[in-house]
Amino acid sequence: MLKWEDLSELEQLATTYSDFHKDMYGFRPRHGAEWTVEDYKKAMAEMHASIDRQQETFAGREQLREDGWCAEETDPELQKRAVWLAEERDRFKQERYGDYWDPIRDAEAPGMKKRWNME
């Protein structure tokens, strides 16, 4: 079985980039076969910068949370708003998907309340 450390730096970066791209955009990239180590590093730096820009505003952080990323709030009022929005998302999913939505697996608000000591 092939181990991570057996891969070249280029192969490791290609794998990491592919996973990161899928996490960000929902699909694996359709390019990259001819990319260099620097190409992968530059592309990943651009994706990190995009996330950093989103984290600058509440709306951006909320979009990240909605997309499944963890984006913490330090302001207590914004924490309350983020929890309320997570609860609304939970209710919407339950109404829309019913039994197909697993509240244990997919619930956001309870975890957010616990993380911010709001229970």
Question: How high is the pLDDT of residue 99?
Answer: 58
* Helix-helix angle 58-66:37-54, to 10 degrees: 120
| Distance, CA of 94 to CA of 80 (rounded, Å) | 21
Q: Indicate the pTM of the whole model.
A: 0.66
Return d(Cα 100, Cα 93) in angstroms, integer: 9
pLDDT, tens only, 62-105: 988 888 888 888 899 999 999 898 888 888 877 777 655 555 55
pLDDT in tens, 14-31: 999 999 999 888 899 987
* Nearest Cα residue to 88 out of 65, 71, 105, 70: 65
- Best CA proximity match to 112, nearest among 99, 27, 81: 81
